[in-house]
Structure 1
Amino acid sequence: MFDLLDRILAVQPAPPMSTVIATAVIAFVLVAWRRSWRWVRNAITIAHEGGHALVAVLCGRRLEGIRLHSDTSGLTFTRGRDRGPGMVLSLAAGYTAPSLLGAGGAALLATGRLTLLLWLGILLAVLMLVMIRNVYGVLSVLVTGGILFAVSWYADATWQAAFAYTGVWFLVFGGVRPVFEVQSQRRRGRAHWSDPDQLARLTPLSGGVWVTIFLLVGLGAIALTALLFGLIAATRDSSLFT
């Protein structure tokens, strides 16, 4: 057990700037390219629904289950007051969760806790698995958690760094694209029950304002991640010459 804790909490050196840039490019392509986005969007949906679930529980709502669908959509079922701050915060957590998770991951990588980041991802997958209520959702979370475990347990430090940095970039880039997608659906009148439209019915702010808030959170997470990763790589590269 102590050996496992030492392995999880070990501090690993930062990768070079070339790795940081390469992983950012890979993550951006995965999000921007339509064909790859169809396959990897499930990870963003897991983070989205996990955000709803976590904040709902923290706000005192009763979490009844989560469903993930093959079209990459998802639903989180909670019970409690249908109005009030708890409901608002729970709804607002979905579109902001991937971006905030990514920024939090970037902050953790800034301390060199790369393996810890991967194991926290495994823990979140296990906790979410308990609340999944359909077969496709169970398979999606199992595959995600399995990949995280395989990388954290079998990959060397170089591959772990490449995976972790790509994953964090993917979360912050992937947190923005769904915001544009839901706004596109709203313009076509096909998103009456979207998170921003539900929030508009619960608050004085319009759906468009909520979309703007989600977008600002996403862009802020990208900027923060880029700043942290840039400082990490610059510090590492400069230390090579001292």
Structure 2
Amino acid sequence: MKADITKICIKYKLTDSEEDVLRFIIENIETIENLSIRSVSNTCYCSTTVVMNLAKKLKYKGYSEMTQKLKEELLGKQEDLNKSNSFLHTFSDFSNLKKENFIKILTQHKKEAIYIIGSGFCEPIAKYIQDKLMLLRFHSFFTWHRENYINPHTEKPLLICISKSGETSYITELAKFCKEHNYSVISFTNDKNNTLKNFSTLTFSLFDNAVLDEQNSVSNSFYPNVLFLFEYLIGCYLEHHKLEIPDSY
């Protein structure tokens, strides 16, 4: 199994040797439980201490737990995706309370600036959300310019972040800035603990069957389901206010 582990290496501050070990484990994930820690260290030309340090940095108790959990995570996710026939399976923590909070926050920001941001494959999704909100007469902007957040167009803006990993540094920095200045932050991200969630007023966690696939090189349900969930939430907002989508400009 191939994977882009760049963000993981940055997040956990892995050394080159630790990165080599993690890459080896992932590429041999189907058979890794048959290999001892010494076999892995010998193959990667490092000491067993490097392997143990990697496990500790990734918050595992030891080598055995690390290989077992990674195997469950990487292989189990794909199996779950193949078996799932329900979109509800993809929204791991969705609730009526979150839906109501979304409607409340959006209502509060009807006349406020709404900034939407996303990078990579999340960027076109962010631009779609910006266009949809503009169609509904919200003051929505897709912008990377930090100046807009330092000197916003209105007093209490809203930031909507779309980030599959929840670890894109510029996005998490903007979310942190907004939280520190008491701006509301809504995030759409994966179903793992990540930095973006810590700075969000409201988070929608979506099932991610390919956590380590940062290049979107395999089949992935995360991106289309962000749009699916957003459209559902907008429908709830319109129904709550008994509104219809206005005619185009």
Q: Which is greater in Rg?
A: 2
Q: Pick the TM interval, shorter chain.
A: 0.3 to 0.5
Q: TM-score under structure 2 normalisation? A: 0.32
Structure with greater strand share of residues: 2
Structure with greater helix share of residues: 1
Larger RCO (alpha carbons 8 Å, 6+ apart): 1
